[in-house]
Amino acid sequence: MNEEAQEPTGPERSIKATSRPKYIVGLDAHSRKQAISVWECTDPWNPDLYMENPKCDISKLKDYYERNVPLDSITIIEASTNSALIKGMLNDIGFRAEVVRADVIADKQRKRKVCDINDARRLANAYIRGDIDEFVWTPSPEYAEYRDILFAYRDAVKETTRTSNRIWAICCRCGFDFDIKAGETKSDSIREMIKQLNITGFIKDRLEMLVKDYEYYLSRRDELARKISEIVLESKAMLALMQLPGIYQIAAFATQVIVEDARRFPTASKLAAYGGYAMIGNTSGEEEERSKKKGGTGKPLDGDGRRDLKTLYCEAGHTVLNCCGEMEIGKWGWRLFYKGKNKNKVACAVGRKLLTYAWHIMRGDPTPNRESEAFYKRKMMRFYSELGAKRMHELGYASAKDFAEKKAELIYGKLPKVADAPKQIIKRR
């Protein structure tokens, strides 16, 4: 696979690749008032203050720009809750605006003199001095909505797990034990246990309250999961990501929504680093030896990047090891394991490989490490059953086989065939 650096074309791009305008605007964004500092930069070594407004109402921002700010300008906005909104407002009226990380002006001087107009000046001067290497990616309105759905699903999963753990903790502390019978849910089993043991007082009230919370978050999680599945259903880009072993609807949706445009990452390694798989380059010999003794690679991950993306692909790595051992990527992972590597770290390494393959798929490059068409069809059959026959009929799919055939033809039709998946899935522990 070719991983040569290419010029980014998305909003997150190098400053060197773009022309410098004559006027530089620093904008310190807040919910109501905006501090604006405009500098004329005919001579980068000696910029002149053009104009300032320490308190511009956000409702009057467009009018202020049209009357006072030259079009030959760039506005630098510190990343905040409404920075994407302000950038969109300015772009709509023809002004170039970019968002930068908050740490570009996080210095000792700022700590001593915290002031909105001073922050606006620092933003403008950071750009003039060349201290800003790249801009922050801001999603399109469509993908901003998708991100809200993804984060709502993630929160629902967390709350479901948290509430379940609280119920279990109370039961263990009180010596209660319950079995989830076939056809029953956890909440049904707990309610039956409360009746049989004649639990009274605050413990009963607490358990009943937690059960209600658990049912709410569980239904919320399932509702959002169905919504995500229906979005994936109509997205060729997301369906294409499901070619990868261990990647199902949620992971495909999250990858496409978080990345949106793979061209903003010049190489697959850049995307891997963004996903939390960047390794610390400079470590001491002792640290490397300790890491290797524990089954690591010797180069620990730096901990930066998107934790949600890293978690999803580490889970996918475990799926590959446990269920796709006969695929090339599965064989590679098990070779690492048999060399003495820790299984969790092997799963992490496999997850990183999958994320680099995802980069190629999102760019339109075929990858040899995808699942076979037959395996992909079985994945689509599972997809069909999760959404339910009734809903799939409403969407125009006559049967599970019909759905799997159509989606496989959409993704695999023009690509070269690869060997069919093994008939038996080998699980290794």
- pLDDT at 353 exceeding the cut of 90: yes
Q: Examine the domain organization and report whether 120 and 171 are in the same domain.
A: no
The total number of structural domains in the chain stands at 3
Q: Examine the domain organization and report whether 273 and 218 are in the same domain.
A: no
Q: Examine the domain organization and report whether 384 and 241 are in the same domain.
A: yes
Q: Examine the domain organization and report whether 50 and 151 are in the same domain.
A: no
Per-residue pLDDT band at 235 (split at 50, 70, 90): very high
pLDDT of residue 279: 66
pLDDT of residue 173: 79
pLDDT of residue 313: 93
Over residues 74-94, the pLDDT tens digits come to: 999 988 888 888 998 999 999
Last residue of a domain, one of 75, 103, 129: 129
Q: Look at residue 5 and tell me if it is in a domain.
A: no
pLDDT of residue 74: 92
Q: Look at residue 150 and tell me if it is in a domain.
A: yes
Mean pLDDT of 17-36: 82
Distance CA 300, CA 265 (A): 22
Per-residue pLDDT band at 11 (split at 50, 70, 90): very low
Q: Examine the domain organization and report whether 169 and 157 are in the same domain.
A: yes
Decide which of 288 and 207 is more confident: 207
pLDDT of residue 51: 86
Last residue of a domain, one of 108, 129, 150: 129
Q: Examine the domain organization and report whether 63 and 198 are in the same domain.
A: no
**Class of residue 356 by CB neighbours under 10 A (exposed 0-12, middle 13-18, buried 19+):** buried
pLDDT of residue 204: 79
CATH number at residue 85: 3.30.420.10
Q: Look at residue 314 and tell me if it is in a domain.
A: yes
Q: Look at residue 49 and tell me if it is in a domain.
A: yes
pLDDT of residue 130: 83
pLDDT of residue 196: 67
DSSP 285-326: HHHHHHHHHTTS-SS-B-S-S-HHHHHHHHHHHHHHHHH-TT
pLDDT of residue 151: 94
Pick from 56-65, 178-187, 402-411: least confident: 178-187
End-to-end CA distance of the chain: 31
pLDDT of residue 13: 42
The pLDDT mean for the chain works out to 81
DSSP 316-383: HHHHHHHH-TTSHHHHHHHHHHHTT--HHHHHHHHHHHHHHHHHHHHTT---TTSPPHHHHHHHHHHH
pLDDT of residue 362: 93
pLDDT of residue 424: 43
Q: Look at residue 44 and tell me if it is in a domain.
A: yes
Count of beta carbons in the 10 Å neighbourhood of residue 207: 21
Q: Look at residue 76 and tell me if it is in a domain.
A: yes
Q: Examine the domain organization and report whether 215 and 169 are in the same domain.
A: yes
173: which 2 tokens?
């502390």
Pick from 152-166, 185-199, 348-362: least confident: 185-199
pLDDT of residue 8: 39
| Cβ(137)–Cβ(11) below 8 Å | yes
Q: Examine the domain organization and report whether 216 and 277 are in the same domain.
A: no
Mean pLDDT of 232-259: 93
Q: Examine the domain organization and report whether 221 and 241 are in the same domain.
A: no
pLDDT of residue 427: 43
Per-residue pLDDT band at 298 (split at 50, 70, 90): very low
Q: Look at residue 57 and tell me if it is in a domain.
A: yes
Can you give the three-state secondary structure of 163-207, one letter per residue?
HHHHHHHHHHHCCCCCCCCCCCCHHHHHHHHHHHHCCCHHHHHHH
pTM of the model: 0.78
Over residues 317-344, the pLDDT tens digits come to: 999 999 888 888 989 999 999 998 899 9
Last residue of a domain, one of 67, 95, 129: 129
- pLDDT at 3 exceeding the cut of 50: no
Q: Examine the domain organization and report whether 243 and 385 are in the same domain.
A: yes
Mean pLDDT of 262-283: 81
pLDDT of residue 229: 93
Over residues 113-169, the pLDDT tens digits come to: 567 888 888 888 888 888 887 888 888 888 989 999 999 999 999 999 999 888 888
Q: Examine the domain organization and report whether 171 and 63 are in the same domain.
A: no
393: which 2 tokens?
């009929």
Pick from 81-85, 255-259, 276-280: least confident: 276-280
Over residues 304-323, the pLDDT tens digits come to: 678 889 999 999 999 999 98
pLDDT of residue 188: 73
Q: Look at residue 419 and tell me if it is in a domain.
A: no
Q: Examine the domain organization and report whether 254 and 377 are in the same domain.
A: yes
Per-residue pLDDT band at 291 (split at 50, 70, 90): very low
Per-residue pLDDT band at 7 (split at 50, 70, 90): very low
pLDDT of residue 314: 93
Domain limits for position 165:
141-233
